[in-house]
């Protein structure tokens, strides 16, 4: 149970002074609280013995006020110091957790769901913060405060009565030991179930428009109901175990109180106790409830904190497969040449390669087009370029240096990437464009928007660049999202612009305008264009046609048209569709390419 303190010792050690002061003030507050019943005892005995005077009454009253006010001020201090430290721990771990997530590669996010990662960053971190604050409070009070109270009961009132009263309380310790282990296991299970439910809710909210379009509301409700029921069962089991604590404590203290009154009255009758001592003993017995309850809470808090810290540590201990080089090689700010050398890659967990024996060269100022059927490996090439996955066979080189020997930040600094998914942030349009370049000016933002053929759209918005796009760009059309993403990539003026099927949602006229703008604005710069619509790549210096992870054709547009294979058939078909507006079936365009 106390292994949790070992896990956060690094933080306690770094903030030792704050914790020392907090625990010192906490113990002083406890000391003030155990003095008050003795003052009450003295007053009652003086009244019973008829020895009380006006001056002694005022003195007792003054001491009670001083103890109360002093205890209040000291309690404020330890609350501020202790719970302030727990909030700081939560902030520190959350910051480190987020930094760690940013360092992880795509494989990590493939196997860890967003909902579960969010649960760990919120619910689990709250449980850890509770351990560093309330957990330490319960530990100190269940030990030091308990000893103070027992000392006052045993050595200032009656040792015999204290021992008799403690007999039923011993059973609390046994219950705490048995229930503590059960709570740890139940809490870990409940957090897993909550993470699964959280992920499902996140997916449902993100995909709500698709759900409504396919009239799948009932199916989604059923899935959420099943996930919610599972989370309910796991949490209900935790609640059932937690619920055993309160009756156990109440039963033990009810028995202890009955013994105290019965035996205490007998001792008063025997003149072994004074009435004031009996009253103060009963008060101490009531005060004994908090440290005993704190002991139960300590088990609960430690069990939850342990399980939550293990879940956070599970993420923090994972390392990216794409390792940063021990001694990064600087390739300079100027791009000269990009090379793929006999690259073969299979995604983690897959037996079949996504790309196989891929080789090509892209020189400065040139444009490479990558086309092919869906699932042929086009996007995989882009992911390998950006060091999103660890390449085990073959080599990707920039300026003749293997990208494994170049820092990931420097590699990605060469590229301006427009992915297939239109990832926009819920803010103003200008913020989304400026995301590609820190401290971008209004003129640069406007130029990037114009190059992406987004200027006319801006004129239709009442707030122009200040228009808020909503979550995931919900207020924009598919074509507007694509052009906004292109503007974001252009503003940094990258050495290599990557368009990964980023013109699919715009019409042919807008596509031609964007490509013409890019040709003018990016003279002397390189580009990689992945596309299904072949007009996007017909002006490329080289085009490679992917099929089942291999390069099936390569050459310029004119050379590929002369070959008369897949590229020729697909281009002809698309042109016919564009001119007539009617798509005609051409099964040969989708057949596997065979030499």
What does the pLDDT average to over 525-553? 93
Q: What is the rounded distance in angstroms from the CA atom of residue 24 to the CA atom of residue 82? A: 11
Lowest mean pLDDT among 283-297, 444-458, 518-532: 283-297
Rounded to the nearest 10 degrees, what angle do helices 217-243 and 170-206 cross at? 170
How would residue 262 be classed by pLDDT, with cut points 50, 70 and 90? confident
How would residue 570 be classed by pLDDT, with cut points 50, 70 and 90? very high
Choose between 25 and 474: higher pLDDT: 25
| The pLDDT of residue 93 | 93
Choose between 65 and 173: higher pLDDT: 65
pLDDT in tens, 211-261: 776 677 788 888 888 888 888 888 888 888 878 777 877 788 888 888 888
Q: What is the rounded distance in angstroms from the CA atom of residue 193 to the CA atom of residue 74? A: 42
- Using CB atoms within 10 A of its CB, is residue 166 exposed (0-12), middle (13-18) or buried (19+)? middle
Q: In 3D, which of 569, 559, 566, 573 has the Cα closest to residue 592?
A: 566
Give percent of the chain with pLDDT exceeding 70.
94
Q: Is the sign of the CA dihedral 88, 90, 91, 95 positive or negative?
A: positive
Give percent of the chain with pLDDT exceeding 90.
30
| The pLDDT of residue 590 | 42
Q: What is the rounded distance in angstroms from the CA atom of residue 381 to the CA atom of residue 556? A: 19
What does the pLDDT average to over 263-268? 87
Name residue 368's beta-bridge partners: 528, 542
Q: How many CA atoms lie within 13 A of 431 on its CB side?
A: 11
Q: How far is CA 453 from CA 437, 449, 465, 481, 486, in A?
A: 19, 6, 14, 12, 9
Strand 496-500 to 415-418 pairing: parallel
Range 13-19, long-range pairs (CB < 8 A, 24+ positions): 15/85, 15/88, 18/81, 18/84, 18/85, 19/81, 19/82, 19/85, 19/136
Q: Which residue has the tokens 């503590």?
A: 180
How would residue 580 be classed by pLDDT, with cut points 50, 70 and 90? low
What would the two tokens of residue 440 be? Answer: 């971008």
Sequence-separated (6 or more) residues with CB below 8 Å from residue 130:
86, 301, 304, 305
Q: What angle do CA 107, 480, 511 make, to 5 degrees?
A: 95
| The pLDDT of residue 578 | 64
Q: pTM of the prediction?
A: 0.74
Residue 558 has pLDDT above 80, yes or no: yes
On whether the CB atoms of residues 568 and 547 are closer than 8 A, the answer is no
How would residue 584 be classed by pLDDT, with cut points 50, 70 and 90? very low
| The pLDDT of residue 425 | 82
Helix H, strand E, coil C: the string for 509-522 is HHHHHHHHHHHHHC
What would the two tokens of residue 534 be? Answer: 């072949």
Residue 132 has pLDDT above 60, yes or no: yes
How would residue 362 be classed by pLDDT, with cut points 50, 70 and 90? very high
Rounded to the nearest 10 degrees, what angle do helices 275-316 and 170-206 cross at? 40
pLDDT in tens, 411-465: 988 999 998 887 888 788 888 888 878 788 888 888 888 898 888 888 888 888 8
Q: Which residue has the tokens 């099936």?
A: 552
DSSP 325: P
Q: In 3D, which of 169, 161, 168 has the Cα closest to residue 260?
A: 161
| The pLDDT of residue 23 | 93
What does the pLDDT average to over 156-164? 90
Q: What is the rounded distance in angstroms from the CA atom of residue 531 to the CA atom of residue 537? A: 7
Sequence-separated (6 or more) residues with CB below 8 Å from residue 37:
152, 280, 283, 284, 287
**Phi and psi angles of residue 500, each rounded to the nearest 5 degrees, phi first:** -95, 90
What does the pLDDT average to over 307-327? 89
What does the pLDDT average to over 487-492? 89
**Phi and psi angles of residue 520, each rounded to the nearest 5 degrees, phi first:** -75, -45
How would residue 41 be classed by pLDDT, with cut points 50, 70 and 90? confident
On whether the CB atoms of residues 331 and 214 are closer than 8 A, the answer is no
Residues in the chain: 595
pLDDT in tens, 372-399: 998 899 999 999 999 999 898 999 999 9
How would residue 589 be classed by pLDDT, with cut points 50, 70 and 90? very low
pLDDT in tens, 71-122: 899 999 999 999 999 999 999 999 999 999 988 888 888 888 877 888 888 8
Choose between 505 and 130: higher pLDDT: 130
Residue 354 has pLDDT above 90, yes or no: yes
Give the count of beta carbons closer than 10 Å to the beta carbon of residue 251.
14
Residue 475 has pLDDT above 50, yes or no: yes
On whether the CB atoms of residues 369 and 544 are closer than 8 A, the answer is yes
Residue 337 has pLDDT above 90, yes or no: yes
| The pLDDT of residue 586 | 43
Lowest mean pLDDT among 318-322, 340-344, 507-511, 554-558: 507-511
Sequence-separated (6 or more) residues with CB below 8 Å from residue 119:
191, 194, 195, 198
How would residue 5 be classed by pLDDT, with cut points 50, 70 and 90? confident
On whether the CB atoms of residues 496 and 338 are closer than 8 A, the answer is yes
Residue 482 has pLDDT above 80, yes or no: yes
Report the CATH architecture of 3-316. Up-down Bundle (1.20)
| The pLDDT of residue 247 | 81
| The pLDDT of residue 1 | 59
Q: How many CA atoms lie within 13 A of 59 on its CB side?
A: 8
Sequence-separated (6 or more) residues with CB below 8 Å from residue 583:
573, 577
Q: What is the rounded distance in angstroms from the CA atom of residue 396 to the CA atom of residue 340? A: 5
Q: What is the rounded distance in angstroms from the CA atom of residue 312 to the CA atom of residue 150? A: 39
Residue 581 has pLDDT above 70, yes or no: no
Choose between 470 and 457: higher pLDDT: 457
| The pLDDT of residue 29 | 92
- Chain mean pLDDT for the chain: 85
């Amino acid at each position: 149970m106390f292994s949790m303190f070992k896990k956060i010792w690094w933080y306690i050690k770094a903030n030792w002074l704050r914790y020392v002061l907090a625990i010192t003030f906490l113990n002083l507050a406890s000391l003030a609280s155990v003095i008050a019943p003795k003052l009450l005892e003295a007053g009652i005995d003086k009244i019973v013995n008829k020895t009380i005077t006006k001056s002694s009454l005022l003195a007792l009253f003054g001491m009670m006020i001083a103890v109360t006010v002093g205890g209040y001020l000291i309690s404020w201090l330890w609350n501020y110091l202790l719970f302030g430290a727990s909030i700081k721990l939560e902030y520190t771990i959350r910051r480190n957790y987020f930094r760690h997530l940013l360092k992880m590669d795509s494989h990590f996010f493939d196997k860890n769901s967003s909902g579960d990662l969010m649960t760990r960053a919120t619910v689990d971190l709250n449980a850890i913060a509770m351990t560093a604050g309330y957990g330490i409070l319960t530990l100190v009070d269940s030990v030091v405060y308990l000893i103070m109270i027992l000392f006052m009961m045993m050595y200032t009132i009656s040792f015999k009565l204290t021992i008799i009263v403690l007999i039923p309380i011993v059973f609390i310790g046994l219950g705490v030991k048995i229930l503590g282990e059960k709570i740890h296991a139940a809490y870990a299970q409940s957090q897993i179930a909550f993470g699964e439910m959280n992920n499902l809710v996140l997916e449902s909210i993100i995909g709500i428009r698709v759900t409504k379009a396919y009239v799948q509301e009932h199916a989604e409700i059923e899935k959420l109901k099943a996930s919610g029921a599972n989370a309910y069962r796991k949490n209900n089991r935790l609640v059932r175990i937690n619920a055993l604590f309160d009756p156990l404590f109440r039963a033990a203290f009810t028995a202890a109180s009955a013994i105290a009154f019965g035996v205490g009255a007998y001792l008063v009758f025997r003149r072994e106790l004074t009435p004031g001592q009996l009253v103060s003993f009963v008060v101490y017995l009531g005060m004994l409830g908090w440290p005993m309850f704190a002991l139960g809470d300590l088990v609960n808090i430690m069990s939850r904190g342990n399980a939550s810290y293990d879940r956070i540590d599970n993420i923090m201990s994972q390392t990216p497969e794409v390792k940063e080089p021990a001694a990064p090689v600087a390739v300079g700010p100027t791009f000269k040449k990009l090379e793929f050398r006999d690259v073969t890659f299979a995604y983690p967990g897959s037996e079949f390669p996504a790309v196989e024996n891929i080789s090509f060269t892209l020189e400065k100022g040139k444009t490479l087009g990558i086309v092919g059927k869906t699932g042929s490996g086009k996007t995989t090439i882009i992911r390998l370029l950006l060091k999103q996955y660890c390449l085990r066979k073959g080599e990707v080189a920039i300026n003749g240096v293997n990208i494994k020997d170049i820092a990931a930040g420097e590699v990605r600094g060469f590229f301006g990437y427009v992915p297939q998914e239109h990832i926009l942030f819920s803010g103003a349009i200008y913020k989304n464009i400026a995301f590609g370049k820190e401290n971008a000016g209004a003129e640069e933002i406007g130029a990037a928007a114009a190059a992406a053929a987004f200027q006319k759209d801006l004129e239709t918005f009442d707030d122009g660049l200040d228009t808020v796009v909503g979550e995931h760009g919900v207020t924009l059309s598919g074509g507007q999202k694509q052009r906004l993403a292109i503007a974001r990539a252009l503003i940094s003026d990258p050495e290599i612009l990557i368009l990964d099927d980023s013109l699919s949602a715009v019409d042919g006229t807008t596509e031609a305008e964007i490509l013409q703008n890019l040709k003018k604005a990016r003279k002397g710069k390189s580009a990689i264009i992945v596309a299904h619509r072949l007009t996007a790549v017909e002006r490329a210096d080289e085009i490679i046609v992917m099929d089942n992870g291999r390069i099936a054709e390569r050459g310029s547009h004119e050379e590929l048209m002369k070959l008369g294979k897949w590229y020729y058939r697909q281009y002809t078909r698309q042109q016919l569709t564009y001119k007539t507006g009617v798509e005609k079936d051409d099964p040969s365009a989708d057949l596997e390419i065979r030499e």
